[in-house]
């Protein structure tokens, strides 16, 4: 009888360990931190995390997908995604070169929110950058680890974040930079820096970029995103952070 009891206990323990291992294996890892200064999309503030953390966490909960955020330096996010160390990030297809937009390694979710990148410079230089073709062969301020769809046509000068890019413009370390419009407006206000916009560099939707091995999750992810658009959750999450961004004159 005692032997049978211990056999049952051992079997239960093995089953429990197997269940835990399966749950751990099925838990996705992701990163959406960008540079850490990509306000309002990501703020690096746990109490006020940004639009993307609020949306992505809600999508995961409502879709009943187990996942956790893996802190990573910006330059490693794509590398770790390519190597399967993380399972998804958030990106705009319009950031990518055309050759990368149909990469079969990934599947992309339905749209979350829009993002617009601009050529940003000092106010007196705005007229010089009214066309993105003017970037050809020039030194251009960029964020380390970010994608730029025509990066092979100009010389990247990488900085750690949008905040440092704005400071670099004022210090004339670069004459022009590519920065998402809302972060540029936000950091211009926060740092009390004058800046001007040139041409629009890209405009599109942020989407979840998921490794293809998890494509079976895409229907429930897209259904959840549709529901969150329908009930106003995504719009309200964005509005909460937009109030901290000055309106451009």
- Domain boundaries defined on the chain: 27-114+205-242, 116-203
Pairing of strands 114-121, 139-143: unpaired
241 phi/psi in degrees, rounded to 5: -95, -25
Query: To which residue do tokens 């079976």 refer?
Result: 216
Looking at residue 146, its pLDDT comes to 93
Quickly count: other Cβ atoms within 10 Å of residue 183's Cβ: 27
- Please state, for a pLDDT cut of 90, what percent of the chain lies above it: 72
Query: How far is residue 105's CA from residue 212's CA, in Å, rounded to a whole number?
Result: 5
Three-point CA angle 214, 218, 223, nearest 5°: 155
Looking at residue 28, its pLDDT comes to 95
Domains 27-114+205-242 and 116-203 share a fold: yes
Instruction: State the average pLDDT over residues 182-188.
Output: 95
Whether a cis peptide bond, with omega within 30° of 0, leads into 96 is: no
Query: How far is residue 245's CA from residue 91's CA, in Å, rounded to a whole number?
Result: 22
- Indicate if the pLDDT at residue 4 is higher than 70: no
- Work out the pLDDT band at 227, boundaries 50, 70, 90: very high
CATH architecture of the region 27-114+205-242: 3-Layer(aba) Sandwich (3.40)
- Is domain 116-203 in CATH 3.40.190.10, yes or no? yes
Read off the pTM: 0.86
Beta carbons of 153 and 135 less than 8 angstroms apart: yes
Q: What is the sign, positive or negative, of the torsion defined by CA atoms of 80, 84, 90, 94?
A: positive
- Work out the pLDDT band at 248, boundaries 50, 70, 90: low
Across all residues in the chain, what is the average pLDDT? Answer: 88
Pairing of strands 67-69, 28-30: parallel
Looking at residue 215, its pLDDT comes to 95
Instruction: State the average pLDDT over residues 12-36.
Output: 62
Looking at residue 220, its pLDDT comes to 97
Tell me the per-residue pLDDT of 92-122, one tens digit each, with 9 for 90 and over: 999 988 888 888 999 999 999 999 999 999 9
Query: How far is residue 103's CA from residue 212's CA, in Å, rounded to a whole number?
Result: 10
The two tokens of residue 53 are: 């953390």
Residue 10: exposure state from Cβ atoms within 10 A (0-12, 13-18, ≥19): exposed
């Amino acid at each position: 009888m005692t032997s049978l009891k211990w056999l049952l206990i051992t079997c239960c323990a093995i089953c429990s360990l197997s269940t835990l291992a399966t749950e751990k294996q099925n838990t996705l890892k992701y990163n959406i931190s960008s540079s850490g200064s990509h306000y309002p999309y990501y703020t690096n503030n746990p109490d006020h995390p940004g639009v993307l953390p609020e949306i992505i966490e809600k999508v995961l909960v409502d879709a009943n997908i187990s996942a956790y955020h893996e802190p990573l330096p910006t330059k490693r996010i794509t590398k770790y995604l390519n190597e399967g160390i993380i399972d998804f990030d958030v990106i705009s297809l319009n950031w990518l070169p055309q050759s990368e937009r149909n990469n079969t390694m990934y599947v992309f979710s339905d749209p979350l929110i829009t993002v617009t990148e601009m050529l940003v410079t000092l106010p007196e230089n705005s007229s010089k950058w009214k066309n993105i073709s003017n970037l050809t062969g020039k030194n251009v301020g960029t964020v380390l680890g970010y994608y730029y769809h025509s990066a092979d046509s100009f010389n990247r000068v990488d900085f750690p974040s949008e905040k440092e890019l704005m400071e670099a413009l004022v210090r004339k370390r670069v004459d022009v930079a590519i920065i998402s419009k809302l972060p540029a407006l936000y950091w211009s206000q926060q740092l009390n820096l004058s800046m001007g916009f040139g041409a629009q560099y890209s405009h599109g939707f942020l989407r979840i970029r998921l490794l293809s091995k998890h494509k079976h999750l895409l229907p429930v992810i897209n259904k959840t995103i549709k529901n969150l658009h329908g009930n106003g959750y995504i719009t309200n999450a964005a509005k909460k952070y937009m109030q901290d961004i000055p309106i451009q004159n």
